[in-house]
Amino acid sequence: MLHRVEISRSALLQSVEQYRSVIGRSQFYAIVKSNAYGHGLRHCVQILSPAVDGFGVNHISEAVQAYDLTDRPFLVMGRFDADEARQLLDLDASRITVVLSDIDEIRQLSELRPDLPFHLKIDTGMGRLGRRGSLLDRVFSYLEEHPDLRWTGIMTHFANVEDVTDQSFAEEQLRLFEEAWQRAQVAAKGRPLIRHAAASAAAMILPQSRLDLVRVGISLYGLWASQATKLSHLSLGGPHLQLRPALRWITKIVQINDLPAASKVGYGCTYQTQQASRIAVLPVGYNEGYDRRLSNRAYVVIGGRRAPVVGRVCMNMIMVDVTHIPDVHAGMDAVLIGRQELDGHSDEMTADAMAELSGTINYETTTRIHPDLKRVVVD
């Protein structure tokens, strides 16, 4: 096996436990969309099932893929069309809640599965799914006129918690959500509703956003939503979360090349050896999720030491300089994300550092790891 994406069971469970200790009585939903942010949907659902209250996914098909591994409910947060909605026919009403924004969608669901519960999405400032203003009023009126519908909650999503330490935009969103809540309770005519708003960052730093349920994605995997979120969290009093990254990505050296000084490496000849160099070839490239912008910038860890990426990242391969590492040979492990300790040497490439080097965020870095690479659960 040339690739191994190791998922730490204890790191995932530690995140849930840590969150539970700060969020109080809110329900904990683990967000496992996009192959659990690249960590492996089925493995993560299996590990987390005993520890969480439910799972959040983007699409019905993700709930279907993991449905048999847990008895917990799924919240389907993204859009689906009428054809795709037919997958709902096989699922139990106690196990699936969908998120809807508009009267048309509510009608469509009630024709297909009138027994399935749904939450109403409300736009309070994200400008994505959900309605606001007069369109929202119309949805509430419709719900009020149809007391038989299985409407069980309202939700919203924050636009600007991760990128700032000043939370005034989120506070305004919460104020609008509170207004919607007042209106919702009238429209519900006694139907019990729950409400939720917080993803990882808000759940961590905005206590008033925790409400009935928190939807935790990135932090579940032991990663901070951003540096600003980490700083904000640490500046608050009270218990502080201890997060440990749950993922390590490891490949193996497939060839060693001993090249003389002034040799070119890779497409475009963007790298030239300064001295006689030992260059290792690794079977990972942008197809596998190793970003091309890491060309000549990132490093991997081999034998507990840094091996810089030299030349351009190819579609399925990269080259790294291992001249300074003793006893390198084909078949040896190369750590792309994670720490490696070996023979008294230790170094690490974090998902955060890799994201920074490729001009993106940790969310994208782990989500891009190709789903075909084998995930293995450790500890």
Ligand X SMILES: *Cc1c(COP(=O)(O)O)cnc(C)c1O
| Residues found near ligand X in the complex (CB under 6 A) | 31, 33, 77, 157, 199-201, 215-218, 225
Shortest Å distance, C-beta 219 to ligand X: 6
Write out the chain in H/E/C secondary structure: CCEEEEEEHHHHHHHHHHHHHHHCCCEEEEECHHHHHCCCHHHHHHHHCCCCCEEEECCHHHHHHHHHHCCCCEEECCCCCHHHHHHHHHCCCCCEEEEECCHHHHHHHHHHCCCCCEEEEECCCCCCCCECHHHHHHHHHHHHHCCCCCEEEEECCCCCCCCCCCCHHHHHHHHHHHHHHHHHHHHHCCCCCEEECCCHHHHHHCHHHCCCEEEECHHHHCCCCCHHHHHHHHHCCCCCCCCCCCEEEEEECCEEEEECCCCEECHHHCEECCCCEEEEEECCCCCCCCCHHHCCCCEEEECCEEEEECCCCCCCCEEEECCCCCCCCCCCEEEEEEEEEECCEEEEECHHHHHHHCCCCHHHHHHCCCCCCCEEEEC
Q: Flag whether 86 is marked binding.
A: no
Mark whether 33 is an active-site residue: yes
Largest Cα span, the chain: 80
Nearer to ligand X, 218 or 355 (CB): 218
Shortest Å distance, C-beta 239 to ligand X: 19
Query: Which residue of the set 37, 221, 264, 267 is catalytic?
Result: 267
Nearer to ligand X, 153 or 266 (CB): 153
Strand pairing report for 54-57 and 74-76:
parallel
Query: Which residue of the set 33, 221, 299, 363 is catalytic?
Result: 33
Nearer to ligand X, 33 or 131 (CB): 33
Shortest Å distance, C-beta 216 to ligand X: 5
Strand partners, 214: 28
Nearer to ligand X, 217 or 303 (CB): 217
Nearer to ligand X, 113 or 157 (CB): 157
Q: Flag whether 315 is marked binding.
A: yes
Residue number closest to ligand X, CB atom? 217
Nearer to ligand X, 130 or 311 (CB): 130
Phi, psi of 208 (to 5 degrees): -70, -10
Which residues sit in the known binding site for substrate? 128, 315
Which residues sit in the known binding site? 128, 315
State the catalytic residues.
Answer: 33, 267
